[in-house]
Amino acid sequence: MADIIKLLPDNIANQIAAGEVIQRPASAVKELLENAVDAGATDIQLLVKDAGKELIQVIDNGSGMSELDARMCFERHATSKIQTIDDLFHIRTMGFRGEALASIAAVAQVELKTRREQEELGIYIEIENSAVIKQEPCQFHVGTSIAMKNLFFNVPARRNFLKSNAAEMRHVVDEFIRVAMAYPQLQFSLVSNGQELFHLDKGSLKQRIVGILGQSYNAKLVSVKESTDYMNVYGFVGKPDTAKKTRGDQFFFVNNRFIKSPYLHHAVMNAFEEMIPADSYPLYALFIEVDPAHVDINVHPTKQEIKFDDEKVMYAFVQAAIKHSLAQFSITPTLDFEL
Ligand code: ADP
Ligand code: MG
C-alpha cells in the first residue's frame, strides 16, 4: 500500500488554525487593537463596516514595521514579543503567540500600510489566502493600518455561521470597550458604517469609564485601591444603587488584560452582599497587578482565561479591597445611606 500521510499546505493549515483565534469579527478586532497597543500607539482608530463582516480596519500611530517585518508578520508563529518560553512569565505585551495576523491573512483579504519613523516611504502589502499578491512603496504616516475585508470569504461555512449584524456588532463593541478601558492614557475611536460611536480622549481611568458607560456614572463610582507585596488592585466599583439585573458592566483586568473569572466575580458579589438585591450585578472595573510569574495566561488562545498560582489569596484580597472601599464611602448596610 502507498503511504497516505501528507503535510497540509500552509494556507490550509493557517485556515484551520485560524478557527481558534478568529471566530468572528470581534476576535479580529481584539487582536488588531492589541497589536496597536503593543506597538506603542497613542491614537488608535477602529473602523468597521457591516459589524466587521465587510471591513475591519485599525489605524495606529505606533512604531510601524520594516519592509521585511511587514511580510514576516503574516507568517505563523512569527512574533517580535517573545523568544523563549521563559519570556512568557515576564510578559508585558498583550500578544505573544504570533498567530493573529497569520490567521487573519488566511481567512480575509488584508491590506497593510506601515511606515517607521526612519523611513521616508511606507510599504503597502495586499494579501489573499495567506499569499502576498501585491507589494509597493506608499505614502503613509508613521504607524500601521491593517484593513481586513470580507472575513471568511474563502471559508463559506464559517461566514454562514456568523450572527446578525446587530449581534456581531455587540461583540465588536465589547472587545473595543475592553481594550479602551485598559488603556485610558491612549486615545481610541470607533467608527461603524461611517458613524462615530465612540471618541475617547486620553485621560484618567475614571474619565475613561464614564466616557464608555455614560456621564451619569460620574458621581456613582467608588474608587478601590489596595496593595500588598504580592499584588495591587485598583479601579472602581459602582455604588450599590447602580447595580443592574443584567450583566455587562463587569470588567476584570489582570496586568491590563481583560479576563473572565467567575471565581473573582464571586469575590466581588460577596463584598456587595446584602447591599444589592440578590438577583442584580454591581458595576465594576477592577485592575489586578501581579508579577507575571504568578499567572499563566497561556491557557487559551484568546487569553481571556488565566490561571493564578494562588487563587484563594486573590479572592480574599479582592473581596477585602472592595469591602474596605464601600465602607470608607459610608455605604455599608450598617450605616445610614446618604447617597
Ligand atoms: P503577536 O502579537 O502575538 O506577536 P501577531 O500575529 O498579532 O502576533 O503580530 C505579529 C507581529 O507583527 C508582532 O509581533 C509585531 O512585531 C508585528 N505587528 C503586528 N501589528 C503591528 C502594528 N500595529 N504595529 C507594529 N507592528 C505590528
Ligand atoms: Mg498580536
Q: At what angle do helices 311-328 and 262-271 cross, to 10 degrees?
A: 30
Let me know: does 39 contact 60? Beta carbons within 8 Å: yes
- Grid cell, residue 252, equals 476584570
Q: Is the CB of 61 under 6 A from ligand 1?
A: no
CA of 95 to the centre of ligand 2 (A): 4
The whole-angstrom separation of Cα 214 and Cα 208 is: 10
The whole-angstrom separation of Cα 97 and Cα 186 is: 24
CB atoms within 10 A of CB 5: 4
Let me know: does 238 contact 217? Beta carbons within 8 Å: yes
Looking from the CA of residue 100, the nearest atom of ligand 1 is 6
Let me know: does 138 contact 144? Beta carbons within 8 Å: no
- 135's enclosing H/E stretch is strand 131-138
Nearest CA to ligand 1 atom 7: 100
Spacing of C-alpha 60 from chain mean position: 15
The whole-angstrom separation of Cα 191 and Cα 57 is: 10
| Fold held by 212-328 | Ribosomal Protein S5; domain 2 (3.30.230)
Three-state DSSP at 278 gives coil
* 32, 66, 73, best to mutate for ligand 1 pocket (most atoms within 8 Å of CB): 73
pLDDT in tens, 201-214: 999 999 999 999 99
Three-state DSSP at 212 gives helix
CB atoms within 10 A of CB 224: 24
| pLDDT digits (tens), the chain, 339 positions | 899 999 988 888 888 888 888 999 999 999 999 999 999 999 999 999 999 999 999 999 999 999 999 999 999 988 999 888 888 888 888 988 889 999 999 999 999 999 999 999 999 999 999 999 999 999 999 999 999 999 999 999 899 999 999 999 999 999 999 999 999 999 999 999 999 999 999 999 999 999 999 999 999 999 999 999 889 999 999 999 999 999 989 999 999 999 999 999 999 999 999 899 989 999 999 999 998 888 887 777 666 778 888 889 999 999 999 999 998 876 545 444 444
Where are the chain's structural domains?
10-200, 212-328
Given CATH 3.20.20.80, say whether it is the number of domain 10-200. Answer: no
The whole-angstrom separation of Cα 159 and Cα 153 is: 7
Q: Is the CB of 151 under 6 A from ligand 1?
A: no
Q: Is the CB of 95 under 6 A from ligand 1?
A: yes
| ipTM of the complex model | 0.99
Let me know: does 323 contact 334? Beta carbons within 8 Å: no
